[in-house]
Amino acid sequence: MPPRLVLASASPFRKALLENAGLAFDVESARIDERVIEQTLDGLTAEDVATVLAEAKAQDVSDRNPGALVIGSDQTLSLGGEIFHKPADMEEARRRLLQLSGRTHALNSAVALVRDGETIWRHVSVARMTMRELDPGFIGRHLSNVGSPALSSVGAYQFEGEGLQLFDRFEGDYFTIIGLPMLPLLAKLRELQAIDG
């Protein structure tokens, strides 16, 4: 019998990706302080930070769900060696978009599978996102239009929504951009016989 799957995330976008793929799973948010964990990660790459946080979320939820296969995920945004977090308010979102304007940044999406406290697998995928030159007035109008959802993503945009208008091009897959590398995850779940395949 396949193990029970649990998504260790409050993200409606990650939940929708798994639902759209036809997976049966439960959802339980991790109870960790990501910023506290990050303070111990000086010197790690943005990819490694995302991986450590994905694993920490899965480990936390695994502790409360014996026998379940827990999916943890995290995404970081990196630009010129700096790692960014979700903006705290609309002013920070405005500054973030000004900083990303006309430049290429990386979205680093990590996923980890944990069962009974043991990490079975981890993976990180990277998408390179090139934002067009944005007029400051347009940024203000855009943020006013999209509202608080801009604060739910590290880049202050939702690529699956109006944020698409901010870009010239991207390299990588859609699922990595949304925050969960689905194809590698599904392949691993099939290998583990956790889903039909």
Residue 74 known to be catalytic:
yes
Identify whether the C-beta of residue 100 lies closer than 8 Å to the C-beta of residue 155.
Answer: yes
More confident residue, 144 or 37: 144
Fold of 5-191: Maf protein (3.90.950)
pLDDT value of position 93: 97
The stretch 71-86 carries a mean pLDDT of: 93
pLDDT tens digits along 108-146: 999 999 999 999 999 999 999 999 999 999 999 999 999
pLDDT at 181: 97
Question: What is the pLDDT at residue 22?
Answer: 96
Closest CA relative to residue 86, chosen from 17, 167, 161, 153 = 153
The C-alpha atoms of residue 195 and residue 185 are separated, in whole angstroms, by 11
Distances (CA, A) of 92 to 85, 140, 181: 10, 12, 27
What pLDDT is stored for residue 37 in this prediction? 86
> pLDDT of 2-35, one tens digit each?
899 999 998 888 999 999 999 999 999 999 888 7
* Domain extent listing, the chain: 5-191
- Mapping DSSP onto H, E and C, the string for 70-110 reads EEEEEEEEEECCEEECCCCCHHHHHHHHHHHCCCEEEEEEE
pLDDT at 16: 94
Q: Can you count the helices (H) and strands (E) in the chain?
A: 7, 7
Catalytic one of 74, 116, 173, 196? 74
